């Protein structure tokens, strides 16, 4: 039995011009944040696409090495965007961030080879959400205070304590992303003061797709394959958000 969730990224359908808000934020910060989210989503989608292979108990060595995984990530990203992840047009900072994300993904896949290749085991728990959390942790270690990416959600939907929203995220989700009149797919961003330093914060909403409902749908409270109670969610409802912090 597989557990795979392709969360709908509505942001990909919106031009940058449509993201303008009253809060001061440079186009560069918006572009960088969107790109960080896009690369992370591509990695998650590759994990999702390989779920049947990963969870196949009849196959030991899956051949899903870090090199093969990153090749699939790069191919999928270029197919979706028309540009390579390490495009020649990137700024020095964008290249540094992209290289750190790819290195983090490589490390996660390398660290989990024994899990991925476990023979005789079906569902292994190596799902897109786990991959994203581990990737973001390695990315944070590499980038320090410069940049941080986190997948979070409204507090009532969070399953892993490490993904719980901190104060700014919780407030932005409640006051903006969860409001009935908030434009679907529109991110919320602003410059905030952190001990005298201006920091760019952005929340990019994500929504349940049909593939998410086997774990997050109905009946609410029923245990899913991962051992968590289902949330009773419906396709199109807010599932969470990608939180990006840039300190420049």
DSSP string for 168-198: HHHHHIIIIITSTTSPTT--EEEEEEETTEE
User: Which distant-in-sequence residues (6+ apart) come within 8 Å of 186 by Cβ?
Assistant: 14, 18, 19, 205
Q: What is the rounded distance in angstroms from the CA atom of residue 90 to the CA atom of residue 198?
A: 24
What are the tens digits of pLDDT across the range 73-97? 999 999 999 999 999 999 999 999 9
The per-residue pLDDT for 19 is 36
Strand-pair category, 238-246 with 188-194? unpaired
Q: How many residues does the chain have?
A: 248
Structural contact between residues 212 and 227, judged by C-beta atoms closer than 8 angstroms: no
Beta bridge partners of 229: 223
pLDDT band at 56 (very low <50, low <70, confident <90, very high): very high
Give Cα 156 distance to the centre of its chain.
Answer: 19
pLDDT band at 230 (very low <50, low <70, confident <90, very high): confident
Give Cα 247 distance to the centre of its chain.
Answer: 20
DSSP state of 97: H
Residue with tokens 């990137």: 90
Residue 197's CB is within 10 A of a number of other CB atoms, namely: 10
The per-residue pLDDT for 248 is 77
Residue 121, helix vs strand vs coil: coil
In this prediction the pTM is: 0.88
Q: What is the rounded distance in angstroms from the CA atom of residue 131 to the CA atom of residue 136?
A: 9
Query: If phi over 0 gives left and psi between -120 and 50 gives alpha, with beta otherwise, what is residue 229?
Result: beta
Consecutive H or E run containing 203:
strand 197-207
**Mean of pLDDT values over 29-38:** 97
Residue 228 or 89, more confident: 89
Mean pLDDT of the chain: 90
DSSP state of 161: G
Angle, alpha carbons 124-126-132 (nearest 5°): 170
pLDDT band at 17 (very low <50, low <70, confident <90, very high): very low
User: Which distant-in-sequence residues (6+ apart) come within 8 Å of 180 by Cβ?
Assistant: none
What are the tens digits of pLDDT across the range 203-222? 999 999 888 888 888 889 99
The per-residue pLDDT for 3 is 59
Residue 19 or 137, more confident: 137
The per-residue pLDDT for 224 is 85
CA 179 vs CA 34, 207, 231: distances in Å? 22, 14, 19
Give Cα 23 distance to the centre of its chain.
Answer: 24
The per-residue pLDDT for 2 is 47
DSSP state of 4: -
**Strands of the 197-207 sheet, one edge to the other:** 147-152, 238-246, 197-207, 188-194
Question: Measured between alpha carbons, how far apart are the two ends of the chain, in Å?
Answer: 44
pLDDT band at 37 (very low <50, low <70, confident <90, very high): very high
């Amino acid at each position: 039995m597989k557990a795979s969730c392709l969360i709908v990224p509505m942001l990909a359908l919106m031009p940058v011009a449509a993201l303008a808000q009253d809060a001061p934020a440079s186009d560069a910060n918006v572009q960088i944040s969107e790109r960080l989210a896009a690369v992370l989503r591509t990695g998650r989608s590759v994990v999702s696409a390989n779920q049947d292979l990963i969870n196949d108990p009849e196959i030991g060595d899956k051949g899903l090495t870090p090199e093969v995984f990153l090749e699939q990530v790069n191919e999928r990203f270029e197919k979706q965007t028309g540009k390579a992840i390490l495009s020649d047009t990137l700024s020095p900072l964008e290249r540094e961030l992209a290289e750190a994300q790819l290195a983090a993904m490589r490390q996660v896949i390398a660290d989990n080879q024994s899990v991925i290749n476990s023979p005789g085991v079906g569902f292994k728990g190596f799902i897109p959400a786990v991959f994203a959390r581990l990737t973001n942790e390695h990315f944070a270690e590499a980038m320090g205070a410069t940049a941080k990416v986190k997948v979070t959600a409204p507090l009532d939907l969070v399953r892993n304590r490490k993904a719980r929203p901190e104060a700014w995220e919780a407030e932005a989700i409640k006051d903006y992303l969860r409001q009935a009149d908030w434009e679907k797919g529109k991110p919320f961003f602003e410059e905030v003061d952190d001990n005298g330093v201006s920091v760019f914060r952005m929340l990019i909403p994500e929504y349940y797709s049909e593939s998410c409902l086997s774990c997050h749908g109905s009946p609410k409270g029923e245990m899913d394959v991962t051992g968590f109670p289902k949330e009773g969610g419906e396709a199109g409802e807010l599932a969470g958000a990608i939180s990006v912090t840039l300190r420049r």
